[in-house]
Structure 1
Amino acid sequence: MELPPRRSALKEATWNAHMALDALVGGFATAADYRRYLAGIAAFRLPVEAWLSQHALPQAFSDWEPGLVRDELRADLSDLDTPEPEAPRAFAPPQGDGIVGLLYVLEGSSLGARLLAKRAEALGFSADYGARHLFSQARNFSNWRAFSERMENVCVYDARAAADWANTAFDYARDAFESAMNADHAVR
């Protein structure tokens, strides 16, 4: 299946950063693995979603809401008696008008959430306990489609800035997961 042009260009421009993050996240085969994943995703999404909630979206997105999962993440952390992790640093996007790239990363995570939700469920976590954020994202796939459509049709679009913002988001996520893993190893 051929992707729409802007999505295809962003996928290509972020391929290396995306693969580096996927390799770091890996899978989770045990509850301990899942806890590390949860700490990493919380260290990434909580600061990014806080930043996003304080900034306006482009006019072309005025009738659309990003799929934020911070409340579900906090509930999942609480379910597993896991403290909210500290972010490796404050989220600071690059210069330019590229917020669409950040949204591409956040909304695109709903694609992987479907697989991760199944893995979490196999470990005993569910939409009601420990994996709310994953099930919320997996159920919200229509938001990804709505975002993709807007991304392709927005009149003012800076491809380079979008790629910079997306790569920054992937790098920030990778740092968050590394920080969570290092914190986990320090506890042992």
Structure 2
Amino acid sequence: MDLSPRRSDLKQATSQAHQALDDLIGAFVTAEDYARYLEGMARFRLPVEAWLATQTLPAGFEDWKPGLYGEELTADLRVLGLAPPDELEAFTPPPGDGLLGLLYVLEGSALGARLLAKRAEAIGFTERNGARHLFAQARNFSNWRAFSDRMENVCVYDERAAAAWADTAFDYARNAFESVLNANRAYRRSVELRP
């Protein structure tokens, strides 16, 4: 598959940050793994979507809207008996005009959602039972294509800023998942140490 020039450049510039996040998420094979994934995704996606709701999209994107899945994600947490996280680290982008880099990460997640939805379904989570956000993303693949087309044609584009914003988004996501994993380890240790 040939990538458009800006997509190709962003993919290359962010490959290490993207791989680090993918490695951290790994493959969920149990309901416990999936619950940790959901909590990490909520810690990433909910603050980013809240921040994004306050922004104006660049010229050329007026008829396009980013895919937002916070409601579905919150519903999925509740299906698993989990409360949405109440203390969330605010998303703060780096300087520069790099919003397209953040959108690249968010919209590109629809590609991974296809695989993750299959994994969730294999352990019993479906569109109607705890994996609503994944199936909504996977179905919204056309939004990724529409974003990609607009990204290539937008007149004002700062390649460095876009890469910095994309890297920041991947790092922010990685930190969100690490916070869940660290909290889980601390909880396990406290249970193991009890007499």
Q: Mark yes or no: TM-score above 0.5.
A: yes
Output one character per residue of 1:74-133: Cα deviation in whole Å (capped at 9) or x when no partner: 000000011213566211000111000000000000000000000000111111110000
Aligned to 2:191: none
Residue 106, structure 1, aligned to residue 106, structure 2: yes
TM-score of the superposition, structure 2-length normalised?
0.94
Task: Give the number of the structure whose alpha-carbon radius of gyration is greater.
Answer: 2
- Listed one character per residue, the Cα deviations across residues 113-163 of structure 1 (whole Å, up to 9, x for unaligned) are 000000000111111110000000000000000000000110110000000
Q: What is the match of residue 29 of structure 2?
A: 29
Q: Distance in 1 between matches of 2:107 and 2:184?
A: 27
**Percent of residue pairs identical:** 69
Query: Counterparts in 2 of 1:146-165, with a 5 A limit?
Result: 146-165=146-165
The CA distance in 2 between the partners of 1:185 and 1:165, in whole Å, is 30
Deviation at 1:42, TM superposition (A): 0.6
CA RMSD after TM alignment: 1.0
Contact 2:60 2:154 in 1 (8 A): yes
When the two structures are aligned, how many residues end up with a matched partner? 188
C-alpha distance in structure 2 between counterparts of 1:136 and 1:111, whole Å: 12
Q: Superposition pairs for residues 87-98 of structure 1, below 5 Å?
A: 89-98=89-98
2:110–2:140 Cα contact (<8 Å) kept: yes
> What displacement does 1:9 show?
0.2
Distance 1:87 1:112 in 2: 27
Task: Work out the CA distance in 2 between the residues paired with 1:149 and 1:32.
Answer: 38
Could you tell me which runs of 5 or more consecutive residues in structure 1 were left unpaired when the two chains were aligned. none
Instruction: Determine if contact 2:47/2:88 at 8 Å carries over to the other structure.
Output: no
Q: Distance in 1 between matches of 2:125 and 2:164?
A: 35
The secondary structure found in structure 1 opposite 2:14 is helix
